[in-house]
Structure 1
Amino acid sequence: MPLLKILSVLSLVALTTGCVSSAVEPQIRFGVEALVPPFESRDDNGQLVGLNIELGNALCAELKSSCVWVDQDYASNIEALEAKRFDVIMPMTATAARRERIDFTENLYPLSSRLVARQGSALQPTAESLKGQRIGVLAGTSREAFAKAQWQPAGVTVRSFRFNDQLVASLQVGEIDATLQDSIEITHALLAQPQGQAFAFAGPALDDPMLGSGVAMAVRKSDTALRDKLNAALERLNQNGQYQMITQRYLPAEAVDSPIYFPNGEGLPFSDAVRIGDTVYLSGVLGSGADGELVKGGIGPQTVQTMENLRAALQSHGSSLDNVAKCTVILADIKEFNAMNEVYKRYFPADRLPARTTFAAKALVLGARVEVECMAVAVR
């Protein structure tokens, strides 16, 4: 065959191959454990249904890709993601420990972790209240990690379950005393069911960095391009209203808007903090030491102690000084404005100073020289 004809044939093959290749629709492979209604489960026909399934399909459509759903046990999904069994874990809570291994998109929706026990049990979600009790958690979840790290060393027995129906059954027959769960999941699985009438939420929702603040999608650390595409698609769903149309069918309004209150530890008539979504509102903080007394030395030492107390309060509620958006500073004497500023500015980077209001009052509680309250964003 002449060389020119051979080249022509090869060119035709290359063009044909290129056309076939370009016609192949890109895919996004989601790993999912379809056992958690109303988030992800299968209907009577075996079809995947639920909030996360609808969000995933909407994201794929936005990215002009096809969704491939891969059944995956939740407890081992990080290992499966790293082994490239699929491309995205749907869903997963972003925590600092998990971020060491994998990456996350922006949150899909808020998360609320709460203790559930028999009505009248008087249990609270604290290590002191749960000492000697048996607490059930789902294996592989951030709640399992939290309970084992924060409660187990204090004498709480933490039992892990692979499936929620097994956990719920153990709670009903008294094999465990309480369970730490996602509030929507446990409401659907137990509290909203006839057999769940004897159970209720025990105490307020927990606020701890180990538990995370919302539900996201997880990708491999090397897949930053996929992460960014998913984030961009999620933003477009927000802009065009599809996100709201999907989530409002599954998430109660309080899942997004209801405040979480953290009562004052001394029984005073205010909360030390209130959290709404990712926003943390702190009550005023004084320059009191560990003994509850104001530190001595006037405005300088009191401002230092106030800012240290503020740092601790933010950390205990899932935020930090780096995430403060707005502060109000109240002085007993406006003439101490400059002295307060000299200390205050050391606690924030020069290019990330919070918005602020400062004024003087005739007197502050306990005779304090300064009081500071702040609003901050929870750390994701």
Structure 2
Amino acid sequence: MTQTVDQQLPGRELSVQIEDIEAARGLLDGVIVDTPMEHSRALGRMLGATVHLKAENLQRAGSFKVRGAYVRMSRLSDEEKARGVVAASAGNHAQGVALAAKKLGVQATIYMPRGVALPKLAATRDHGAEVVLHGSNVDEALAEAQRFAEESGAVFIHPFNHTDVVAGQGTIGLEILDQEPEVDTVIMGIGGGGLLAGAAVALKQEAARRGRKINLIGVQAENAAAYPPSLAADALVPLQGVRTIADGIAVGRPGEIPFEIIKELVDEVVTVSEDAIAKALIFLMERSKLVVEPAGAVGVAALMEGKLEELGIEAENVVAVLSGGNIDPMLMLRVIQHGLSAADRFLTVKLMLKDRPGELAMISRIIAETDANVIGVDHSRIGGELSMGDVSIVINMETKGSEHSALVLNSLRAEGYEPVTN
């Protein structure tokens, strides 16, 4: 249902306005692609609403980052371009800056932490950037990139804390309105805040022009959620020990520019667990055939966790932004296993058995009769908890869900075994 609002544009005094985003869209014409909007019937049934997925994971360089990077760099003077640019990132920002620099004919130096995923390293180099490996984490790479900028004169390209970057990221909001004019709720991930801030300006101000209201929800990983305490304190509150599988939004401190916009325009910021993120990633692969990185899946995780209902939002037409798809295959493997376990579709049991013939065959028979699929067995006769004549067996198996997992465990117990789960 369309809601009417005051015709005064929200956020009139903010550092980024819809005119800035419209100008950024002109700069990006022919540089980026208008990513598709995929209808998700499965999510729609869960929510009792129409749900679309804005597939920015299919953007050039694999994420939204190229939007802001290109707009920022295209507005450099000729003298600044001649000095080159420098950035620090473990993934999406690196690729976005490298691609933008290639399009603009600018030399880019990207600092990445040692141990960065090889596919991200290779992709950044493939775009023509010079990659320097430094430090064990992004913060150390960032400090070195800033030192390099001061010494060399290269222009430092911040991933989110610049008005041109925010305006470039905001072009995704205009695309959403073009593709789904009746949208009433938009939900997306938030790290430093550039994407959410830019989208907020575009969505809120354009909706106000049209006499409508759009709910805008930001989502953070609960182990990397700097925005809720910052919004509560009305000040930037840095976090310590940020750690999440959603590395694309693992930011310990909001950007000053995005924060001022988000506190003014965004309706709510919620958090989701690591289990919820992993389950959402698997859901998107299975049901929508979309490969999305954990940071890109947090909006879907929030929908699956019922966050809109918790907030009292009665949405009819929802868009979830899938902000990126740059996931390392090894991380994908771990996330899939974690997500299946969280959804009770991957069961690990540990059993203490007597070391005698037929025991393993008996266990295999019980599991087979429950129709579970064994995918791994670890058999050990040595360990501090083992007595002479005992064997420890750890069995990994695929199940069909919580009820099926319970059936497997109960069947083992009925035969006198004592299965222990993680």
Fold shared per TM-score above 0.5: no
TM-score by length of 2: 0.26
Higher fraction of helix: 2
Higher fraction of strand: 1
The structure with the largest alpha-carbon Rg is 1
TM-score by length of 1: 0.28
